Chains A and B, each alone.
Chain A
Amino acid sequence: ILNVEQSPQSLHVQEGDSTNFTCSFPSSNFYALHWYRWETAKSPEALFVMTLNGDEKKKGRISATLNTKEGYSYLYIKGSQPEDSATYLCAPQNAGNNRKLIWGLGTSLAVNP
């Protein structure tokens, strides 16, 4: 996995808006996809790990889907709150011996009250 792209790069929404981000990655040699949430001055926090094509995961107002055949994942936030403001990073994991994560640059979300 060489190229991980996340879009948009940044996003400003109003409290209560729903939003979604995209992570795209080469579909070959895929093993798993991780989503992390990183707030300023805090450690990255794991949100989801998905492995199977068609996987859907949900945690509260945040959910994610995975399409391994076309190489993309969507992260959805329903009814954004100011505390959702953070950078959302996706990291596909390759199927090679090292299984390391390859990180995207993230989507920076700012939710205005």
Chain B
Amino acid sequence: GAGVSQTPSNKVTEKGKYVELRCDPISGHTALYWYRQSLGQGPEFLIYFQGTGAADDSGLPNDRFFAVRPEGSVSTLKIQRTERGDSAVYLCASSLTVGLPNNEQFFGPGTRLTVL
């Protein structure tokens, strides 16, 4: 595709439910990042993948959050037992690789998650 796509664009769920957020990166980009932005905050790093492996998951807030990228392309962020505090815009970005300073990250439009 031409850019990073994320689905759904909006997700409203009830507290305690399970949600999956999908990210489809730019073809050929080996690095994929998940961020979330809560109201009034800057983007907060969650996890990034180099290929299929999670190279750094230190930003995941707790064990209710999990992300996979089984084939090194599409990634799914999974949130179990959602809480109202999980409400945020979840952003996905991809870059050609990771580590090189001039590798800009290309962002998707985000998924706005609302937990009622």
Interface string of A32-68 (1 = CB under 8 A from B): 1010000000111110010100000000000000000
Q: Does A104 contact B (CB under 8 A)?
A: yes
* B110/A99 in contact, CB under 8 A: no
* B104/A32 in contact, CB under 8 A: no
* B102/A43 in contact, CB under 8 A: no
Q: How many residues of B contact A (CB 8 A)?
A: 29
With beta carbons under 8 angstroms apart, the residue of A43, A49, A102 that contacts B108 is: A43
* B56/A100 in contact, CB under 8 A: yes
Q: How many residues of A contact B (CB 8 A)?
A: 23
- Prevailing SS type, chain B contact patch: loop
63-111 of chain A: CB within 8 A of chain B: 89, 91, 93, 98-106
Q: Does B42 contact A (CB under 8 A)?
A: yes
* A49/B102 in contact, CB under 8 A: yes
Known: A49-B101, A49-B104, A51-B101. A42 touches B109 (CB 8 A): yes
Residues of B within 8 A of A105 (CB): 40-42
Closest B residue, CB atoms, query A104: B42
Q: Which residues of A contact B (CB under 8 A)?
A: 4, 31-32, 34, 42-46, 49, 51, 89, 91, 93, 98-106
